[in-house]
Amino acid sequence: MLTRKQYELLTFIHQRVRETGVPPSFDEMKDALDLKSKSGIHRLITALEERGFVRRLPHRARALEVLRLPENSGQAAAHQARQRTTGFQPSVIDAQGRREARAPAPRAAELPSGQTVVPMVGRIAAGTPIEALQQPLDQVSVPPGLLGGSGREHFALEVVGDSMINAGILEGDTVLVERCETAQNGDIVVALVDNQEATLKRIRRRADSIALEAANPAYETRIFPADRVAVQGRLVGLMRRY
């Protein structure tokens, strides 16, 4: 699952390599995506690299290799069908970057067995931010003890990336999130950056800025002005398959 800009850049690189055998320059990528600076291209490439879509080849200029394309390419109709399902409706960003209003999420449904059903709304990056939360894709059954409290709204996300491994969060884990708009310093949250990208990080407030901290020394702490980050939910539980 990629952001619109990440997908556009990956497609542009892939097409250029197929046509010419040479990846585009950073200036060409900047112009193709209508970005104002090359720093945005660096950020997008880092995101694609950390998610395994591209690889930078060392000691070579303009050396980018496309390793794979999104699995759901060309499946827009199926995605739209999923959007008509009921369940948790987190913030969704349209093609123009506008936040679409969604109906309030229903509370998790209680099952006779004592399990609780919560909506699985997609994948979340424990690494570089990926696409903002989407519509419910499935449901997962959860022991009530893993949730933050009865009567509260929850959703589930599959973890992509390894930036939270020292907090015990591994790629492929399912994280359980209580929907909220505020969090305490040190909480692990789903944070929406610039109204379009979501990431799982530990939050720290520093005066007029917000730091999103990884739990892996290989990743740097990302610091944003407070108005660029919105809390979408707080981590309350985790499930793992062996």
Write down the domain spans for the chain. Answer: 4-66, 85-239
CA distances from 91 to 136, 207, 228 (A): 12, 26, 15
Q: Tell me, yes or no, if 163 is annotated catalytic.
A: yes
C-alpha torsion angle, residues 180, 185, 189, 192 (rounded to 10):
80
The whole-number pLDDT of residue 1 equals: 58
4-66 matches 85-239 in fold = no
The CATH number of the domain covering residues in 4-66: 1.10.10.10
Q: Please give the chain's pLDDT, 242 residues, in tens.
A: 577 888 889 999 988 888 877 888 888 899 999 888 888 888 888 888 877 888 877 655 567 888 888 765 543 333 333 333 333 344 333 333 333 443 444 444 444 456 778 888 777 876 655 455 555 567 788 887 777 565 678 888 888 888 999 999 998 899 999 988 899 999 999 998 887 788 899 999 988 999 999 999 988 899 999 999 999 899 999 998 87
pLDDT value of residue 95: 32
Catalytic residue among 39, 113, 201, 209: 201
- The DSSP bridge partners found for residue 210 are 205, 224
| Collapsed DSSP state (helix, strand, coil) of residue 35 | coil
| Strand duo 197-206 + 209-213: pairing | antiparallel
Write down the pLDDT at residue 63. Answer: 73
CATH no. for 85-239:
2.10.109.10
Beta bridge pairs of residue 179: 233
pTM above 0.75, yes or no: no
CA distance linking residue 28 with residue 10, whole number of Å: 13
Based on the residue annotation, tell me whether 73 is a catalytic residue of this protein: no
- Choosing from 36, 37, 39, 163, the catalytic residue is 163
Lookup result for tokens 């108005």: 227
